[in-house]
Chains A and B, each alone.
Chain A
Amino acid sequence: MSQPQRVWKGRGCAAGQFEGEAVVSSQPFGFWQGLDPQTGTVIDKRHDLCGTNVKGKAFAFPYGRGSTGTPGIFLEAVRNGCAPAAIVNVKSEPMIIMCALLAEAFFRVSIPIVDSLEGVPHEVLRSGDRVRIDGSTGVVEVLSRA
């Protein structure tokens, strides 16, 4: 197992393990009308990640802009294998936590969610970093920098 360069402790909001690439934004994100569930590409024209694919990645953004329809898009993406595989927030609102709980219950897919890191996610993480995330302990590790 590779040695982490940096380790941050946060709050585990949804269980699961992840190791892979991070995609990071400093802007809040809404999955409803923000993500194309057929591809995993960000489609919100007002968002700085518009055009970026978050499929299978650890998606870090400050907090969600949550329409109550959010899990509709999120689970459609999960079903198509196009959802992000982990989420890191400054603060995870119930809407995003509900998405992970539903993915686990209805599609048996674990998407770890961590918030309240000691550092601000979009300041301590960079797109392209290799990270390891544990949704139970709330630990986020940077394995290698972009």
Chain B
Amino acid sequence: MYLTDEEQRILNGECGEPQRLALQVLAKLGEACGAERLVEIASAHLVASSYQIAGEAGIEIYSRLVEQGARVKVRTTSDPGSIDFARWREFKTPAEYAARQLRIAELLDQMGVIPTWTCTPYAAFNVPRFGDHLGWSESSAVVFVNSVMGARTNRLAAYVDLCAALTGRVPYFGLHLTENRRGEVLFELTPDLAADFADHYFPALGYLVGQTVGDKIPVIVGLTRATFDQLKAFGAASAASGSVALYHMVGITPEARTLEEACGGRIPAERITVGTREITAVMEQMGGVTDGPVDVVGIGCPHASIDQMRRYAALLAGQRVHPDTELWVCTNVVVEEMARKMGYVEIIERAGAKLMVGTCHNDCPLQAWGFRRLVTDSGKFAYYTPTTVGTQCVFASTEACIRAAVAGRVERS
């Protein structure tokens, strides 16, 4: 692989051990993946910021790098941690566990990482521009910045994202190249489904698409509108049930003004039709509603935006969460602060719901709660929580999630 003079100097150790090690990983990765060179990046985002992912190995790696004087070279943000930094006791996180997460926070801080603790850094502080090359991990963020913002990043792995941050570079392969961003699998919505496309169909469709395409690039045809949060929910679900890193929605996402553009002029012959029957079937698979009590409700995955906080507050105003049920709203500290100023936090908390800030149900150790049944409006939670939290999962609309929290149970309507 071709290296510039500066990259060669880094590899020779002239810029210190952390950069040498990081560049060596990136160069070998590039060689294994057929990259001709490295490319400079505008920013990085780190997924091994949570103790659940990083573990003791991560603490060892970060400690060594900090001792060697490691500093990030580009704007770098952190994914959610494994604790709510302000309320971990409230969430029954063991003190020893919290201490390990706090240690990671300290080490990332010493390397100059911006402590956003969120899976939606693209909504504040780490906002890519169209065409920017990035070194990001966190599957839901990768799919969002590629698809909705038109930035370019592969799905980097934990620690490789840090190698990118330390050197300001990534190997130039995969989604960094225009020819690899063409849509490969076509999904066509039936007119009746498209005409009456409910909010929670976005994560359901994402789940279906991810399951079908694996790591290929899907193109969705038939939708005419989608909000920022609906695109976020769709992508997160597709990146969980499959490994989707880029999707195109014709007429909605920036590299898909037309079907021809989305497919780079080569429109796939095969079309998968999605109608009401397919959407209903996938929602059943994500967690069909069976009557019974609910232990915990999870909303705000990926982290809730201020628009979503406004919606939750409107739905919870004057309501009371059932005493045997927990309703946790996941978001980041930026949105929390804004929502507090706007009075939403007060409404949400007065209803008996909890804000879970800088983390989520998936990233936190929740064994102490003994949850058996979780209700969520997130396709990503629906995919992961049966393993991470060990619960049975019910997938429902945001409104139905809040009704379940208030009633303390779900019922098939």
Binding site for B on A (CB under 8 A): 13-14, 33, 37, 65-73, 75-76, 78-79, 93-95, 97-99, 101-102, 105-107
Q: What are the nearest 9 A-B pairs in CB distance?
A: A72-B53, A75-B57, A98-B157, A68-B137, A76-B55, A69-B53, A79-B57, A76-B57, A71-B158
The smallest C-beta distance from B319 to any residue of chain A, in angstroms, reads 35
Residues of chain A with a CB closer than 8 A to B52's CB: 72
Taking a contact as CB atoms closer than 8 A, the residue among B28, B47, B388 that contacts A33 in the complex is B388
| Residues A68 and B138 in contact, CB atoms below 8 Å apart | yes
Residues of chain B with a CB closer than 8 A to A94's CB: 29, 32-33, 154-155, 157, 174
Taking a contact as CB atoms closer than 8 A, the residue among B24, B32, B58, B156 that contacts A68 in the complex is B156
| Residues B33 and A75 in contact, CB atoms below 8 Å apart | no
For chain B, the bracket of interface size reads: 35 or more
Interface string of B194-213 (1 = CB under 8 A from A): 00000000000000000000
Decide: A106 near B159, CB < 8 A? Known: A14-B32, A67-B139, A93-B215: yes
Residue of B24, B58, B64 most packed against chain A (CB within 10 A):
B58
23 A-B contacts, Cβ less than 8 Å apart? A37-B55, A66-B155, A66-B157, A68-B47, A68-B138, A68-B142, A68-B156, A68-B158, A69-B47, A71-B48, A71-B158, A72-B52, A72-B53, A72-B57, A75-B57, A75-B61, A94-B154, A97-B29, A98-B29, A99-B157, A101-B25, A101-B32, A102-B157
Interface string of B206-225 (1 = CB under 8 A from A): 00000000010000000000
Interface string of B37-73 (1 = CB under 8 A from A): 0000000000110001111111011001000000000
Taking a contact as CB atoms closer than 8 A, the residue among B25, B56, B139 that contacts A105 in the complex is B25
State A107–B64 Cα separation when bound (angstroms). 11
The smallest C-beta distance from B292 to any residue of chain A, in angstroms, reads 22
Interface of A is mostly: helix
The smallest C-beta distance from A59 to any residue of chain B, in angstroms, reads 18
| Residues B33 and A72 in contact, CB atoms below 8 Å apart | no
State A101–B25 Cα separation when bound (angstroms). 6
* B280 is an interface residue with CB less than 8 A from chain A: no
Q: Name the CB-closest residue of A to B142.
A: A68
Residue of A37, A75, A107 most packed against chain B (CB within 10 A):
A75
Apart from the given pairs A68-B142, A70-B157, 6 other A-B contacts in the complex at a CB distance below 8 Å:
A33-B387, A66-B243, A69-B47, A69-B158, A79-B57, A98-B159
